[in-house]
Amino acid sequence: MKSVLVISLTDLANDPRVDRQITALSARYRVLAAGTAPPAVEGVRFFPIPPREGRTAARQAWSALQLKARRYEDYYWSQSQVRWCLDALAGERPSAIIANDVVTLPLALRLDSECGVILDAHEYAPRELEDRAFWRFFFLDYSDYLCRTYLPRTRGMFTVCRSLADEYRSDYGVAPEVLTNAPPYHDLAPRPTDPGTIRIVHHGIVTPSRRPELMMEMMNHLDSRFHLDLFLVPNGSRYFDEVIALAARHPRVRVMPTVPMRELPRVLNHYDIGLFLLPPTTFGYTHALPNKFFEFIQARLAVAIGPSPEMARLAKQYGCGIVAEDFEPATLAARLNALDPESIARYKQRSHEAAPELCFEKNADTLLAMVERVTGSR
């Protein structure tokens, strides 16, 4: 049986995209996986990447100097996790390697594989954290260097949506295939909507760039039928605590306990509307097509979003929800206030009809087809 090595500097069981990769590959290949915590898939040979080493002030200053002096190769190969992977994986020779995120690509290309490397870039790496001055100053040119130097050496490449694939093609001359963030198909059905209590839900991480406070501000413009529950991922930040405190001040907003990734669609199925108002604060957020959009579909919810082009395209194509004209909370609230139980039921039914198409099983065919082409295993 041919083997595939998956590399990701993440917790493999709790990184949804990588977890789905490993699950799909395990059906046809012997899978090796390197990450910071083991996968949830049985039978995978796991290589535990240790946490990044702590850095002294002198070491941090040296790294900053390397980056500003454009000594990008020196900086990259000095990273503790990269050095560990080189040593730990040196004796392996898989049929192919899947590198997750551009930061693992040089490493994957240096390791020995029979057939080459496939990159899953996930998002658009050269502008990943462009809203942060520190990242722009030290890492923007570095990320661009990694893309220009290493993307042409891959045997295949994925990214999460059409807009990002077009940008990679325009900037670097590569042709990524689209592998969306859709979860596996869930055999669920839409639930009836209580006319007096319309339940809205949002879930995910909390960062200032996403401006989650806008969704709570929206609640000030909604009539008393609407209630919002938030399933947020704690990160120990002061900003997270500020968001929790803001939610506590609104009588129709609740913060709920965190739900394991694989259980999300079944938990969300008890709601009526999946909400994501994401202002275009970065290139990545402008073109976002996140896990949660597809989890709303699998949960058979109506979708309520701003005019984010990738999400809006699918919402309109499948007729599964409302798309506001702008990112102002009052604008989306006006669209929601106009809904009645019958219109919500129609949107839920459209999500139900879209669920067999917008699921990972469709993506798995795309992933496996590329691995088969690269390894010659058809």
Separation CA 39–CA 343 (nearest Å): 41
Task: Report pLDDT digits (tens) over 348-368.
Answer: 999 999 999 999 999 999 999
Separation CA 209–CA 77 (nearest Å): 30
Separation CA 91–CA 345 (nearest Å): 56
Cα→Cα distances 304→61, 226, 266, Å? 46, 13, 19
Who wins on pLDDT, 235 or 32? 32
How are strands ordered across the β-sheet holding 226-233?
253-256, 226-233, 198-205, 273-276, 302-305, 321-323
Task: Report pLDDT digits (tens) over 69-127.
Answer: 999 999 999 999 999 999 999 989 999 999 999 999 999 999 988 999 999 999 999 99
How many residues are given for the chain?
378
* Residue 188's pLDDT band (cuts 50, 70, 90): very high
Separation CA 278–CA 211 (nearest Å): 7
Least confident of 47-61, 113-127, 146-160: 47-61
Count CB-CB contacts under 10 A for residue 343.
13
Helix, strand, or coil (residue 273): strand
**Mean per-residue pLDDT, 27-39:** 97
pLDDT, averaged across the chain? 95
In this predicted structure, the answer to whether residue 195 has a pLDDT above a threshold of 80 is yes
Q: Is the pTM of this model over 0.75?
A: yes
In this predicted structure, the answer to whether residue 377 has a pLDDT above a threshold of 80 is no
264: DSSP letter: H
Residue 57: the pLDDT is 86
Domains of the chain: 3-182+360-375 (3.40.50.2000), 198-354 (3.40.50.2000)
Residue 327: the pLDDT is 97
Task: Report pLDDT digits (tens) over 286-303.
Answer: 999 999 999 999 999 999
Separation CA 22–CA 15 (nearest Å): 11
Residue 60: the pLDDT is 87
Task: Report pLDDT digits (tens) over 234-254.
Answer: 887 899 999 999 999 999 999
* Residue 169's pLDDT band (cuts 50, 70, 90): very high
Could you give the percent of the chain with pLDDT greater than 90? 88
Q: What angle do CA 155, 161, 164 make, to 5 degrees?
A: 75
Residue 58: the pLDDT is 86
* Residue located via tokens 């639930």: 191
Cα→Cα distances 63→53, 60, 138, 144, 262, Å? 13, 5, 10, 17, 38
Residue 284: the pLDDT is 93
Separation CA 36–CA 103 (nearest Å): 15
Residue 378: the pLDDT is 60
Separation CA 137–CA 178 (nearest Å): 30
